[in-house]
Amino acid sequence: MPHAPNPKSGDNQAQSINLLKQKQNDFFLRLIHLIPIGVAVHTDGVATFINAAGINIMRARTADDILGKPAIEFVHPDFREGALKRIQALLKASKKEPSAVAPYVQEKFLRLDGTSIDVEVAAFPLGRDDERNAILVIFRDISLQKKGQKLLQEREARFRLLAETLPAIVFLVDETGTLRYINAAVQAISGYTPDEIRTIDYHSLVHPDSFRRGIAASLPLALGQSARFELKTTNKSGEWRWVDVTITKTIVDDKIAWLGVAQDITWQKKTETLLKQQSQKLVTAYEEERARIARELHDEVGQMLIGMKFTLESAQRSATNVHTQEALLDARQLLADLTENVRELSLSFRPSQLDDLGLIPTLLWHFERYTHHTKIRVDFNHAGFEEKHFSRTIETTLYRLVQEALTNVARHAGVDALSVIIRAQKEAIYLTIRDNGVGFDSTKLPSGHTSSGLLGMHERVGLLGGKLRIASQPGMGTTITATIPLTYPTP
């Protein structure tokens, strides 16, 4: 026979369900009180629940300071009308859709201590309880966030004000290479407005060589580091312009970006080029004058000395007095010494071989004379000069560099040998002069003739757009390296 239902069994099941619901409610309440976001309930407009985070946000001592009071009192007067409209709209929508939600909005709350705070608020209906409307409100304090946004806005406004008043280009490029910002000064320099620059490939305005140098200087930067370089760019009219760029790697909107300032230095480049041209003309005129003096010493003075030699020889043959012959012999010896000095002076001013035979034969001749006079051996290696002739200015500069360096070695290095290496390649000529002598502190130029000689070497190389490096330490010898480009860019 089937068992008759046990009435106690149904009661136990109902009790178990109620106990489970009570535990679920207790768990839900504990969870609500633990979360760091304010949670409140108002029923028919009266506050009936608030969690621990909400009590803290509203600066209340306990929930009793808030419960039982009209919820609208905690909304700032400037936002009360909007809050009431949203509540009415939410209640109306919930009749058709019980799960209706009022989206997050930003408004101000009034705390119990009378201060106001910025909050982000969302709400949804909990349903009707004893014919009363209950609404759950979720809110969080965004005062610090709002202050931070305001501070950022103020800083951005100051940055834009400063950037727009600067006569230099100010730009911001993100990690994808996209131009995020550029100020109005770009138009004065490039001819393009900021809006036009954004619509074209601005990379195409930069000379490829300059662009590669800029990328090479910018990409390796660490955050906060800066780099400075020059770019050759073209303006809207197709004219080439030079800009001096200082760029810094930074963070903007949580992304890596490069903030840069560019100044037009075209006038400076043109002035530098003009000064170099004028200086080079002076050097050329100086070398021409030395060549003229050398020719006069060799041709005119030399011929006069030869004539005097013949005259003295004739007088010596005609003289009968022994004392007179001895005197004439002494005079001939003095004349021979004077002739040799004039010859050396003529060669030192400018050897004719340099114009007639070229650089390498002249250097070989110079090294032979140098070793003869100083007893210092020169180990000479050269490459790339086979059947090649370079401009007179370049060959003269190289000869003068070697001449000055060897003179310094003879006077100060205290060695019996040195090496000279000169290589001509497609893009430049490379010169290296090395000795293992006493050396000096290359961070401090020596005094006297050596100092002016080294400065003169720097100036000669600089006029050709080249670089001169002098590496030396006491007791470690000296190495001089010069690089002279065969093509020098002009603005």
Are 419 and 464 within one domain?
Answer: yes
Torsion of CA 296, 301, 303, 309, to 10 degrees: -160
Of 85, 108, 141, the last residue of a domain is 141
Half-sphere exposure of 447 (CA within 13 A, CB side): 0
Are 401 and 466 within one domain?
Answer: yes
Domain that holds residue 282: 267-350
Domain CATH for 447: 3.30.565.10
Are 375 and 272 within one domain?
Answer: no
67 phi, psi to nearest 5 deg:
-65, 145
Are 371 and 488 within one domain?
Answer: yes
Are 27 and 59 within one domain?
Answer: yes
When divided into structural domains, the chain yields a total of 4
Domain CATH for 112: 3.30.450.20
**Is there a domain that residue 418 lies in?**
yes
Q: What stretch of H or E contains 33? A: helix 7-34
Are 440 and 483 within one domain?
Answer: yes
**Is there a domain that residue 11 lies in?**
no
Are 465 and 372 within one domain?
Answer: yes
In three-state secondary structure terms, 394 is: helix
Are 379 and 485 within one domain?
Answer: yes
Round to whole Å and give the CA distance between 374 and 416: 9
**Is there a domain that residue 9 lies in?**
no
The pLDDT tens digits along the chain (491 residues) read 444 544 444 555 555 555 555 655 666 777 787 888 899 998 888 998 899 999 999 999 999 999 999 999 999 999 999 999 988 888 888 777 766 677 889 999 999 998 999 999 998 888 655 557 888 899 999 888 888 778 877 777 777 767 677 778 888 888 888 888 888 888 888 888 888 888 888 788 888 888 888 888 888 889 889 999 988 888 888 888 898 999 999 888 788 888 888 888 888 888 777 777 676 676 666 666 666 666 666 556 656 666 667 776 677 677 767 777 677 677 777 767 776 676 666 556 666 677 777 888 888 888 888 898 889 898 999 888 876 677 778 888 888 888 888 888 888 888 888 999 999 888 888 999 998 888 887 666 554 444 557 777 887 788 778 888 888 888 888 889 998 888 654 44
